[in-house]
Amino acid sequence: MARRPLPRILSTGTAQLARSRELARSAADGATDVLHPLITITRGLRRLAGAGRRKWAATPKERRGSLLFLVASVVLVVALIPYGPMLAAICLMAAAAWTGRERAAPAPSGPDDAQVQRLQSLYEALVPYFSVPEDPSPLFAHGGEWDKAFTAYGFDDDGRISHLVVRYPAYFTDGEAESRARIEQVLYAKSGRGREYHFAWDEEGNALTVTVLPPLPTDISAQRFVTAPGETVLGFTDPTAVQRTLPVADGDEQRDVPPVVWRTGIRSTEPHLLVLGRPGSGTTTLLRSVALQALQHGDVVIVEGSGTGDYACLTGRAGVLAVECGLAGALGSLEWAAHETERRLIAANRARQAGHPPPDDTKRPLWILLDRPGILGHLAAADGHRDPQSLLQVPLRHGRAAGVTVVVADQLDGMEGLTDTVRQHTRARVLLGPATADQVEEVLGAAPHTTPTADMPPGRGYARLGTGPVLRLQVPATPDPYDDATSDAHRRAVLDLLPDRTARADADLAPAAVAEG
């Protein structure tokens, strides 16, 4: 018998071994294809069982009996239905297959090259403020790793930073306003100007959260807001700033927006309001909005120092006691308001001493709206009369007890002309229009947590009620309906809110109408 060469034997054995491996691999793949649905269903049944155990453990003991009775009832009903057990088994297998499927892990995402460069540039800009030479392992260092300092970040469609969480060393003086202001200025400059940023300092966790705020809605017009007596809507703010929303009408639709509500009355801690702003910023619009809301439950006296007739639409309306534009009329109306405040105090005091409730004529709120008192003060000084602001001393000091509310509006550059009495007793403040952070702090008594922008729409600004936080504010659109530049929708919205004309006003207009005819 001839022997085969050894190389041929080895090659034959190697080929058979490779063929055996291929057959084994094919068999394993076939077994996997067969067992894959079973594995999925088994995994799903195990997950469903675990969820059931967790649900049973989380159920209070006093409710487990009712839950067990409910499950037994469902099982009994299914068992009595024709083909019920088979349908239940099919549903169980389908639920197990869906629950046991392998979920693909989301693909890791990270910043692109441009975003990395922007984050690195911002990191390098913060190094001089967040590092000291004595730090052995500085978190901020030139050429360091930005991802250790920026724990979270986000970008908008334009590639600019929209959200950022910055970790900083514990030795940074985050309790000092000047130190925080420097960091906020750097972040504002490097992240993109022209936007408003909100800075939330976590002093305990040594973290700073920077968020780009969306613009406030400017399309909300004057309307009847759902408020209680004594509540006045100054405008609208960010959803995270207040814990309340109001339904407002936007055409044929309705939506909920967060308001800035100012509360007046006997229990108010901020009974009077001061509004300041630049020309065209919307101070008169805010006073007109306040007047329309005040007329729902009270009487209004309006003194206009500019003499432009911005409140002519309120003349002769029910509840409007006077609309004065001249110096003589302004002095007379404010003097009457001071005497009316004293009369209400005396009447209420006598009623309390006698054990009776306050008279009805002292319960109706009285509003005194004074626009541009600086102009009236100059006119009074030129004519040798007293400053009209001096007549506000009694309403400001004792107005809360007498149901009298004072609202003063003036230009920002005329703030120095306000008397000390007006400054001390107007604890609710509003600043409208472009202003620096120092100006906002001077008017409101506290710096905002956002960066003021140079370009603001009319009615946009900040508000602070007493010792509360500084809130962004957008005043509802309340233009003069007699202005030709007003849109038809806003004109109709204001006209619908005006009270009916009084009989005396109609009688005064009748001779003029006859003469024109």
Task: Print the SS3 string covering 86-136.
Answer: HHHHHHHHHHHHHHCCCCCCCCCCCCCHHHHHHHHHHHHHHCCCCCCCCCC
Q: What is the CATH number of the domain that holds 204?
A: 3.30.70
Tell whether residue 403 is among the known ligand binding residues: no
- pLDDT score, position 22: 55
Rounded distance, CA 116 to CA 122, Å?
Answer: 10
Tell whether residue 175 is among the known ligand binding residues: no
The domain boundary residue, chosen from 181, 212, 243: 212
Q: What is the CATH number of the domain that holds 411?
A: 3.40.50.300
- pLDDT score, position 77: 81
Tell whether residue 284 is among the known ligand binding residues: yes
* Residue listed under structure tokens 């504010």: 473
Q: Are strands 460-465 and 471-474 parallel, antiparallel or unpaired?
A: antiparallel
Rounded distance, CA 474 to CA 220, Å?
Answer: 9
**Residue 103, CA atoms < 13 Å, CB-side half-sphere:** 6
Taking a C-beta distance cutoff of 8 angstroms, is the pair 97, 37 a contact?
yes
Taking a C-beta distance cutoff of 8 angstroms, is the pair 155, 115 a contact?
yes
* H-only helix segments in 251-301: 283-294
Tell whether residue 277 is among the known ligand binding residues: yes
Same domain? 291 vs 344: yes
Q: What is the DSSP letter of 303?
A: E
Residue 27, classed as helix, strand or coil, is: helix
Q: Does residue 503 lie within any of the structural domains?
A: yes
Distance of CA 267 to the CA centre of its chain: 26
**Residue 289, CA atoms < 13 Å, CB-side half-sphere:** 29
The domain boundary residue, chosen from 212, 244, 270: 212
Same domain? 142 vs 236: no
Q: Does residue 167 lie within any of the structural domains?
A: yes
Same domain? 352 vs 477: yes
Same domain? 297 vs 434: yes
Same domain? 239 vs 388: yes
Residues in the chain: 517
Rounded distance, CA 130 to CA 26, Å?
Answer: 62
Rounded distance, CA 499 to CA 295, Å?
Answer: 8
Same domain? 176 vs 274: no
Per the structure, the complete domain to which residue 463 belongs is given by 231-507
Cα-based angle 5, 9, 10 (whole degrees, multiple of 5) = 120
Same domain? 125 vs 237: no
State the total domains in the chain: 2
Q: Are strands 231-236 and 259-263 parallel, antiparallel or unpaired?
A: antiparallel
Residue 499, classed as helix, strand or coil, is: coil
Tell whether residue 109 is among the known ligand binding residues: no
Pick from 405, 395, 474, 471: nearest CA to 230: 405
Same domain? 239 vs 203: no
Question: What element of type H or E holds 246?
Answer: strand 246-250
Same domain? 289 vs 425: yes
Pick from 402, 494, 373, 452: nearest CA to 181: 452
Q: Does residue 456 lie within any of the structural domains?
A: yes
Q: Does residue 15 lie within any of the structural domains?
A: no
**Residue 188, CA atoms < 13 Å, CB-side half-sphere:** 20
Rounded distance, CA 247 to CA 245, Å?
Answer: 7
Is the full-model pTM beyond 0.95?
no
Same domain? 166 vs 236: no
Q: Which residue positions in the chain have pLDDT lower than 50? A: 1-15, 17, 23, 27-34, 105, 107-108, 509-517
Taking a C-beta distance cutoff of 8 angstroms, is the pair 396, 422 a contact?
yes
Tell whether residue 283 is among the known ligand binding residues: yes
Pick from 417, 430, 424, 415: nearest CA to 393: 424
Q: Does residue 410 lie within any of the structural domains?
A: yes
Q: Does residue 127 lie within any of the structural domains?
A: yes
Same domain? 245 vs 359: yes
- pLDDT score, position 201: 93
Same domain? 283 vs 193: no
Q: Does residue 372 lie within any of the structural domains?
A: yes
Q: Does residue 236 lie within any of the structural domains?
A: yes
Rounded distance, CA 497 to CA 280, Å?
Answer: 23
Give me the amino acid identity at 448: P
Pair of tokens at residue 154:
């986000």
The domain boundary residue, chosen from 212, 245, 275: 212
Rounded distance, CA 334 to CA 295, Å?
Answer: 19
Q: What is the DSSP letter of 412?
A: G
Tell whether residue 99 is among the known ligand binding residues: no
Tell whether residue 60 is among the known ligand binding residues: no
pLDDT tens figures, 345-396: 999 999 999 999 989 888 899 999 999 999 999 999 998 889 999 999 999 9
- pLDDT score, position 9: 40
Q: Are strands 320-324 and 161-167 parallel, antiparallel or unpaired?
A: unpaired
Distance of CA 465 to the CA centre of its chain: 15
Cα-based angle 476, 288, 374 (whole degrees, multiple of 5) = 120
